Amino acid sequence: MTQPDTAIDLATMISSITASISAAVPRLQMVEAYPEIRLNLPTPACLVELIELEPVDNPGTEQLAVLARFEAYILVAFRELDAKVQVAKLAAAVAHHVQGERWGLPVEPATIAAIAPSDFEPELDQFEIWAVEWHQTIHIGESVWQSDGPVPRQVLASWSPEIGADYESDYSDIVGGAP
């Protein structure tokens, strides 16, 4: 039986996140990851960043399991009518979309950690900015269980130190063999 492939490429994940947010919140004029900070951003905008990878329990696959923390910064030009309300509404819309999202990838569902005003970049003081922070567990690297090799038909066991080729006849069949 083949195990599911849970290996994640971070660039693919970030691209999936931006595409998903862009499709779900069409009012956003721009959704980008790690954009070059510039003063003439089309607004409203959403800027996505991976901010931390925190190791978590080993999934038993020899992959690096991490709690990936992301932030989406929602920007509305401060001169826009009701900018403070509009940025909060857009942040709530993005958070609503992100909650539980897997981005079409084999990752844990996203969990919202915060939705709040942000001082993202001091040079962007002409924008009202809110941040949506979320986290989700992902696996980095290939699983040791991904193999095109044969599936074992019989599982044998013995007690240490009576193991190895010299003790083959002492092993016990613990599964009963495959049907």
DSSP per-residue string spanning the chain: -PPP--B--HHHHHHHHHHHHHHH-TT-SEEEESPPP-TT--SSEEEEEEEEEEE----SSSSEEEEEEEEEEEEEETTSTTHHHHHHHHHHHHHHHHTT--TTSSSPPPEEEEEEE----GGGTTEEEEEEEEEEEEEES--TT---SPPPS--EE--TTS-SGGGGGG-EESS----
Q: Specify the pLDDT at position 2.
A: 54
Is 6:59 a contact under the CB 8 Å cutoff? yes
Structural domain boundaries of the chain?
Answer: 10-140, 152-179
pTM greater than 0.85: no
Q: Specify the pLDDT at position 18.
A: 98
CA–CA separation, 158 and 154 (whole Å): 14
Q: Specify the pLDDT at position 37.
A: 72
Q: Specify the pLDDT at position 178.
A: 44
The CATH number of 10-140 is 3.30.2000.10
Q: Specify the pLDDT at position 59.
A: 84
CA Rg, the chain, in Å?
24
Binned average pLDDT, 10 residues per bin, the chain of 179 residues = 76 98 98 83 95 93 94 95 97 99 97 94 88 97 75 80 87 66
User: What backbone torsions phi and psi does residue 131 show, to the nearest 5 degrees?
Assistant: -115, 140
Q: Specify the pLDDT at position 156.
A: 83
Q: Specify the pLDDT at position 110.
A: 99
